[in-house]
Structures are given as C-alpha cells and as structure tokens.
Amino acid sequence: MKNEPLVSVVIPTYNSEKTLPTCLESIKRQTYRNVEIIVVDSFSKDRTVEIAREWGARAVLTHGGLLWARYIGHRYAKGAIELLLDSDQILQPTTIERGVRMVRRGYDMVILEESSYKPSTLTQWLFYIDRRYVHKIKDYNPLHGVLLARMYTREILDKAFESITHKLPVKLMYRLVSQDHALIYYEAWIRSKKLCMIDDAVYHVEPESPSSLIRKFYRYGKTELDLTRYYPELTKKRTPRKVNPHPEAFISLMLWSLKAIPYLIGRLSQYT
C-alpha cells in the first residue's frame, strides 16, 4: 500500500439492511485495497448497523438527514480521497482504482457513470433508460445538469463543507434529505473545474414501483422549501429537460414528470 492514498467511502444509511450487504461486498471486492468504510446511520430499526460492522465498516450513529450524515462522515474520514456512496449502489471491481488514477492525474472530482441494477419493473426500466440518456449528454454543470461527482479530494471537500456550514443554519443542515449531494458538488464545482467521468463505474438499485418513487420525491419536496432562501440557483434547476427526437429523451421526460408531481405536492404542503 506504499504511496497508495487512503480512500474513505462514506455511506449514509437508515433501515438499509436490504441493499447494504451488496454495497459493502462490492467495496470489499475492489482491486484497490487501501480503503476505509464509514457507515453513518440514523439509528436504524433493522440490522443495518450490525451488517455494517460485520463487513468491517466503522458505524457512526447520528440523527439527521442525508446532508448532515455526509458532513459527519466527512469529519470522521481519514482519507486523502473520499467516495460519497449510497447504500443502494454497487461498485464495479475497478472503480476505486480508476478513480484514484484520475485524482493522481490532477482531477479534484470524479463522476461515476451509473447504470440501473438488474431492472425488472417498469419503473426500474424508466430509470435505466434515463440514466443511459443523461450520461450520453455529459452535462457537468450543476446548475442545469443532473450528473454529480462521487469521488473528491479531501481538500476540495473541506472547502465545500466549510462553505455549506457557513451558509446554512445547523437546523436546516440537520433535517435536509434532498439536494444534499447537489449542494456538495455545487460548492466543489465553484472552486474547481478539474473533474472527469469514468465509464461503467457503479450500479444503482432503483425503486421497484411508482408508489415508492412518489413517496421519495414527496419527502424531497417537503423538506426543500427552506433551501430556496440559501441556494435559489440550485432549487430553480428542477425544470423539464430539453427534449430531442430521440426516444430515450421522451422516456427521460416521462420519468422527470413522475418525480416532479409528488415533489411539487410536497413543496406546496409547506405552505398550508
């Protein structure tokens, strides 16, 4: 491991026992070995914490939403490079090795090309086609694109979180469950445009049904209203994508609509 920088993989969890084992297994199978795993758990009621410890991860318990969990994970991380992962993601075996290679070449951020994991339902196939389409566009601008960096140098993350903690009240940081990753990427992107994307890097376990999708984005909309006061440029970006004649573009717009309706209802519920 000489001259191999430590990579900290930070994973927020809450009742994630169904997906976490596969996620952790994919980390353990990496060709790059100098890795620490930090699972930041919001006091799950299932076996999430036990599973994390069984796989050799450090489990950190804290209340709060996703942004707070990523912030706490960053504070515990010791690596020169951090990978912000979700518990429903599965890494390809060479992903961390390829990401570290890009950082060594001078990049501060690495976007990981995502694909849906074994899609079987209509909702999952919509996600599969949508992900394939947005990765073809390769729009890295966080103000109108949807691609987000997953791997960062510690230095750039330090600066991003410093800015976020200065702009947002602690109470809002604590309860925010949407736009967490977008905020981090946006603050990092302001400070550095040294970013790249590596292909075929990660799989995503998608929601199985429209109902689970609706619940998720309703929750996002319900907690995001206060964010508009501090990051209006980000919260205004939820507009329909430009549609070209390609069939994948229409399917992408269809999925955007499925997300947007419960999201807007959640936003409106904050006015009542």
pLDDT at 240: 46
Amino acid present at 194: K
pLDDT at 220: 65
Phi and psi of 57, rounded to 5°?
-85, 155
pLDDT at 27: 99
pLDDT at 227: 81
Segment 96-151, tens digit of pLDDT:
999 999 999 999 999 999 887 887 777 777 777 777 777 777 788 888 878 899 99
Strands 149-153 and 109-116 turn out to be antiparallel
pTM of the model: 0.84
- What are the domain boundaries of the chain? 7-269
- Each of the 272 residues of the chain gets a pLDDT tens digit; together they read 568 999 999 999 999 999 999 999 999 999 999 999 999 999 999 999 999 999 999 999 999 999 999 999 999 999 999 999 999 999 999 999 999 999 999 999 999 998 878 877 777 777 777 777 777 777 888 888 788 999 999 999 999 999 999 999 999 999 887 789 899 999 999 999 999 999 999 999 887 777 776 766 666 666 666 788 888 888 775 544 444 545 666 556 656 555 665 566 655 565 55
pLDDT at 253: 61
What does the block give as tokens for 183? 């905020």
- Transcribe the chain into DSSP letters: -TT---EEEEEEESS-TTTHHHHHHHHHT-S---EEEEEEES--SSSHHHHHHHTTPEEEE--S-HHHHHHHHHHH---SEEEE--TTEEE-TTHHHHHHHHHHTT-SEEEEEEEESS--SHHHHHHHHHHHHHHHHT---TTT----EEEEEHHHHHHHHHHHHHHS-HHHHHH--SSHHHHHHHHHHHH---EEEEEEEEEE---SSHHHHHHHHHHHHHHHGGGGGT-HHHHTT--PPPP-SSHHHHHHHHHHHHHHHHHHHHHHHTT-
Q: Are 227 and 169 in contact (CB under 8 A)?
A: no
pLDDT at 178: 76
| CATH architecture of the domain with residue range 7-269 | Alpha-Beta Complex (3.90)
C-alpha–C-alpha distance, residues 24 and 9, integer Å: 10
